[in-house]
Structure 1
Amino acid sequence: MAVYTLAFIAYAVDVARRSAAKPVPAEARELVGAGALAGADAPARPDAPARPDASAPLTTASRGARIGFALTVLAWALHLGGALLRGLAAGRVPWSNMYEFALTGVAVIVGVFVLSRLWKDLNFLGVFITGLATVFLGVATVNYYVEVTPLPPALQSYWLVIHVFVATLATGFMGLGTGLSILQLIKEKRDNGFLRSLPSPVQLEDLAYRVGVIGFIFWTFTLMAGAIWAEHAWGRYWGWDTKEVWTFVIWVIYAGYVHARATRGWRGSRSAWLQIIGFTAIIFNFTIVNQFFAGLHAYSGL
């Protein structure tokens, strides 16, 4: 958590610096770049420091963003080590209760962000991801921490590995997509300071949709695997348990999101809000449903 906090600070400082920087007009950048006069009669000095440019790409020219990403990778490595040690201490996979699921789930969310660098540079999401990781881990440690306990009989199955791990993967991609959707909405309303360095709202929406579709595919498998596991554990595929119902509600929201955007032409803020509502339902399912609704999944609140 301490390293995630340092990463968040580095990203936040970079965002503040870029928000305060005045953009350099394109004509001026071209003239200076070509060695033209900078001012009335003073030649441009090749060794002069570059002026802060809020319209420059966030991750390629920003020292703060690079430091933030390096700290995020370090925090993620320590995070994975902690989850691995928890699993070794328990002699099982570390996701049988709310604390362990939060520990693993946040690691997957950060991991998706870190590994996305191989596909697309999403460093502009650094403040959102590291802030989310710090808050979620803090809440989980304060409110949900429990000592290592034996698995209840219903969890003593290989489906625990499959079902819960795929659910965490889905949550990771959906969390990343939600961050992109939030930035899309903000950029649609304002486009100054730090926001000038982000992709356009249309590009953010396209990225959010791609990531959201991957999350939806994993969540579909989560729903199917949960039904198969329920048949093995309780002798029925579906029993309208509160947890089962909310898992299905989340699936319906994301199915509506994918369908509405792909076939109904829902673009812009409506598309973004659907993804945000879906991720909010995931958080509600993990917190409120686990703690305050009775059912066969009550062990998930341990």
Structure 2
Amino acid sequence: MAALSDQLVSIAILLYLAAMISHAVEYALGNGRAIARRAAPARELVGAGVAAGGATTPTGADLGVGVGKEPVTGDADTTTGDAPAGAGRKRPPGQRARLAGRIAVVLTGLATVLHLAALITHGIAANRMPWGNMYEFVLTVSFIGAAAWLAVLWKLPALRGLGLFLTLVMVLLLATAELVLYVPIVPLVPALNSYWFIVHVSTVVFASGLFLLGAVPAVAFLMRNGYEQGRRSFPYTLAKRLPAAASLERLTFGLHAFAFPVFTFAVIAGAIWAEAAWGRPWGWDPKEVWSFISWVVYAGYLHARATPSVKRNVAAWLAVLGFLTVLMNLFGVNIFFEGLHSYGGL
């Protein structure tokens, strides 16, 4: 079972990578289609004017397009339009882009299923819940993020463009888990043999997975918002094919508003468990400190998001900062600090 779990993780990484490439193809073909559609009417009308014998070149208003303006979202550029003349039976770029996007979603779904199978087989091999070290924790958190993304995509298919960034994060996290964090299966340390292990760690894992997913639209919002405000330098030009900034911002808030109460309960449950195991609910252990820092930052994000005078991009930066503190708590504390929570397995 342990060997099967390792093989399933490797296959899942490859599928996430293939999904990322498919999303990138959708992004590239969509941009090419948008350029072709803006250029085609101009060529046709200019050609018609020359044939008519000296008609003036039409302006941007005559062509029905905004001069010097990009479309607000990429989806509108690829939903309609016939193939260019002489294309024959070749599939139009817009259709190829949509096909690549659908393939990416299917590959992401298959990767998530194999991801879940890897967790189940790992738990069977260990004869416990697979949350005992950093490798297992990262596998579980990343699975929650991928599963939550598929749920979001089911409800909001127009946000499919975020899949490029989500699958990139999945590939990086799983590759890090496989290459850096992997340890053989061992029994739980005695301190973790408690029913609070399931209560506390399961809620931390669930909240962390949602925070992982929430960081993706937060970063995408910052990029898209900069692009909509006229910034054309890197990295803002990468956001041309992303959904509208308002949609990304609402998704960011919804995910964090759902995850924060779960994370709050996880911190409280950890304090209760610490009281039962170590005789005190709080001892300024490094992981406790960074959990509190994460809680404060995410509380600050929700407060900023609910305050009309605070700009949305400021709140989004707080969401990104919150996820950085989660990463610090997961990687930095386990690698660079010693404490009562040192169960990284490295």
Q: What is the deviation of 1:63?
A: 1.1
Alignment of 1:128-167 (within 5 A): 128-167=165-204
2:332 to 288, 296, 299: 288
Q: In structure 2, how many angstroms separate the alpha carbons of the residues matched to 1:201 and 1:246? A: 31
1:263 maps to which residue? 307
Matched-pair contact (CA < 8 Å) for 1:125–1:179: yes
3-state SS in 1 of match to 2:343: helix
Distance 1:236 1:57, change over 3 A: farther
1:235 aligns with 2:279: yes
Greater alpha carbon shift after TM alignment, 95-104 vs 176-185 = 176-185
Structure 2 CA distance for aligned equivalents of residues 158 and 59 of structure 1: 52
Which residue among 102, 119, 137 is the counterpart of 1:83?
119
Aligned to 1:105: 141
Note if 1:173 corresponds to 2:210.
yes
Deviation at 1:124, TM superposition (A): 1.6
Deviation (angstroms), 1:118 = 3.5
Among 84, 94, 101, the alignment partner of 1:65 is 101
Q: Distance in 1 between matches of 2:220 and 2:103?
A: 21
Give the aligned partner of residue 47 of structure 1: none
Distance between the aligned counterparts of 1:92 and 1:274, measured in 2? 36
**2:78, 2:164 → 1: CA distance?**
13
How does the TM-score come out when normalised to structure 2?
0.75
Go from structure 1 to structure 2 and tell me whether the alpha carbon gap of 1:271 and 1:59 turns closer, same or farther (over 3 Å shift): farther
Q: 1:71 to 1:57 in 2, by over 3 A?
A: farther
Quote the offset at 1:59 in angstroms. Answer: 9.9
Residue deviations 1:7-64, cap 9 Å, x none? 1111111112223333546xx7xxxxxxxx9x849xxxxxxxxxxx973259976111
Deviations, residues 122-158 of structure 1 (Å, cap 9, x unaligned):
3221111111111111111111111110111111011
Max radius of gyration: which structure?
A: 2
CA contact (8 A) 1:57 1:198 kept: no
Give the aligned length. 281
Cα separation, partners in 2 of 1:10 and 1:248, compared to 1, 3 Å: same
User: Aligned Cα RMSD in Å?
Assistant: 2.4
Partner of 2:83: none
Deviations, residues 94-131 of structure 1 (Å, cap 9, x unaligned): 01100000111111110110122343233221111111
Cα pair 2:34 2:77 within 8 Å, conserved? no
Equivalent AA in structure 1 for residue 201 of structure 2: V
Q: Select which of 156, 164, 188 maps to 1:127.
A: 164
**Change beyond 3 A, Cα 1:282–1:58:** farther
Which residue in 2 is equivalent to 1:3? Answer: 15
Following the alignment from structure 1 to structure 2, what is the Cα–Cα distance between the partners of residues 68 and 238? 45
TM-score (norm 1): 0.86
Q: Unpaired segments of 5 or more residues in structure 2?
A: 1-12, 50-70, 80-94
Percent pairwise identity: 40
